[in-house]
Structure 1
Amino acid sequence: MTDIVLLERRGRTAHLILNRPEKLNSLNVALFEALDAHVKEIAADPSRVAAVVLRGAGKCFSAGHDLSDIAAGEKPPEPNYQSKVIERISRLPLPVVTAVHGHCFTGALELALSGDLILAAENARFADTHAKWALTPIWGLSQRLPRRVGTSKAREMMYTCRTYSGRAAEAMGLVNACFPDDEFETGIESWVDEIASNSSFSHAANKRLLDSTDGLPLPAGLAHEVFRSEGKGPDMADRIAAFASRKKS
């Protein structure tokens, strides 16, 4: 089952690869079960990796929710299962980078939004087409999309069902960076290496800080930061010593 999603460890980065290329990585229950198993494996020992990259095999990230699965009557192992898996990805205590090439439509966009950062190739195509099929989001899009692009742009995407290129997604703030297609792999590697070079303690603490204060009024958020900060990490002294040593040489 887990072959539907591959877990590849590349140095200190874990790549979660949607692996239904013959179906354009469309999302069905079996794929979510495989993804969930890998996410739980990472969560059991997050110290083994510095970052997670969520991506798709073959021609695209994912064409979206498998409509044939919907028509056949999905049988997830528990209610709201897919949204729970997406939430588990978003709550991993380390940076999650979604790497999108080709299609990223509707349910796939909801999955992509679980990433802390989204990187795109120029050939990426983003759309929310729930309204085209008389559906509404249940995997988090109505909450995560406006937080990333603003309410007005989210309404535009949801109401029009338009498709947006990688560059257009970058311009609206949906993705953090867009690369020429032939530089996509090196672009992902460069960003992930830069993230991994910094403290995993700080990444986890900062992520908890951002998640815990999301939506709070400024005074409450500031108080949370001041009084609930996790302080110094176990690698602080070594990092400062290494910096001082480089300055002397």
Structure 2
Amino acid sequence: MPELVIRKDIDGIAILSLNRPEALNALSPSLFVELHDHVTEIYGETEKVGCVILRGEGRSFSAGNDLKAMQAGEKAPHPFFQAETVEMIEGLPQPVIAEVQGHCYTGALELALACDLMVCSENAKFADTHGKWALTPLWGMSQRLPRRIGAMNAKEMMFTGRVVSGAEAFEIGLVNKCVPDSDLSEATLTMARAIVENSWHTLRADKMLVNKGQDYGLKDGLMFERENSPGRAAGKEERLSGFKKD
């Protein structure tokens, strides 16, 4: 049986690819088990992995939750396993980039929203279709989508279920970049390489401070930063001494 999630490492970048292209990478419980295992491994590899890319094989990132698997009675290890796996991705010490082409619907959008950054192709299609199936969010849609694009835009997507194009996703701040279809993988890898060129110590600190700082108002957030910023890393002086202005 082929792997449902494939890992490839390039120069400190771990690339995780959802590998059910024949099913538009539908998110079955079995796929989530493999994804969970990969994410768990990457948690312990902060000296080996500086950035993570999450993508899908074939023509789609993912069409969303696997309704056929649900109808067939396939079960995750426990009721909140998928939601906890999404939270693990959000909680990875390393920055995570979602590389999105084609469909990114509902559960797949919840998965992508757990990533720190998102690059999409012009053919990308984003939608929250919970309402079309009389389902309600369990993997973070109601919390992460409004934080990403604002409550009004999020409510429109959630209430109507309409499809948002790659270009519009960029306009409303859902993604960082929208690029031609043929440029997607290279554009994402270029962003990842720019990230890993910086201090991995700083990357991990920045992600922690920004993510946890969102739980506070400005005054308390400033205090949180002062009290929790880890300070200089060994070797910082060498990095500074080698810095040159363009």
Question: Partner residue of 2:132?
Answer: 132
Question: Does the residue aligned with 1:17 lie in a helix, a strand or coil?
Answer: strand
> Root-mean-square deviation (CA), in Å?
1.2
* C-alpha distance in 1 between matches for 2:150 and 2:235: 37
Residues 42-57 of structure 1 aligned to structure 2 (within 5 Å): 42-57=42-57
**Corresponding residue number in structure 2 for 1:81:** 81
Tell me which stretches of 4 or more aligned residues in structure 1 moved more than 3 Å. Answer: none
State the alpha-carbon separation in 2 of the partners of residues 200 and 44 from structure 1.
14
Structure 1 unaligned residues grouped into runs of 5+: none
Q: CA deviation at 1:2?
A: 7.4
Q: Distance in 1 between matches of 2:242 and 2:175?
A: 33
Pair 1:217-2:217 in alignment:
yes
User: What does 1:38-187 correspond to in 2, within 5 Å?
Assistant: 38-187=38-187
Please give the alpha-carbon distance, in whole angstroms, between the structure 2 residues aligned to 1:27 and 1:211. Answer: 26
> Match of 1:160, as an amino acid?
T
- What are the ranges of 5 or more consecutive residues in structure 2 without an aligned counterpart? none
Provide Cα deviations, 1:151-190, integer angstroms capped at 9, x if missing partner: 0000000000000111100000000101011211221121
**Corresponding residue for 2:18?**
18
Counterpart code for 1:55: R
SS in 2 for 1:6: strand
Partners of 1:16 and 1:2 lie apart in 2 by 15
1:181-220 equivalent positions in 2, closer than 5 A: 181-220=181-220
Q: Give how far 1:235 is off.
A: 3.0
- Which residue identity lines up with residue 47 of structure 1 in the other structure? E
Q: Secondary structure at the match of 1:46?
A: coil
TM-score, length basis structure 2: 0.96
Three-state SS of the structure 1 residue aligned to 2:40 is: helix
Q: By percentage of residues, which structure has more helix?
A: 1
Deviation at 1:10, TM superposition (A): 1.3
Measured against aligned partners, the alpha-carbon deviations of 1:77-105 in whole angstroms (never above 9, x if no partner) come to 12200001111111110100000000000
Change in CA separation of 1:10 and 1:2 when aligned onto 2, cut-off 3 Å: farther
Structure 1 position 46, deviation (Å) = 2.0
How far apart are the structure 2 equivalents of 1:227 and 1:92? 21
Letter in 1 for 2:96: V
How many matched pairs? 245
Q: TM-score, normalised by structure 1?
A: 0.95
| Structure 2 counterpart SS, 1:37 | helix
Write out per-residue CA displacement over residues 33-58 of structure 1, whole angstroms, 9 at most, x where no aligned residue: 01011111111222101100000001
1:223 & 1:188 partners in 2: Cα distance?
34
Matched residues in 2 for 1:235 and 1:211: separation? 25
Q: Which moved more, 1:132-141 or 1:178-187?
A: 178-187
1:219 & 1:240 partners in 2: Cα distance? 30
**Structure 2 residue aligned with 1:5:** 5
CA drift of 1:205 comes to: 0.7
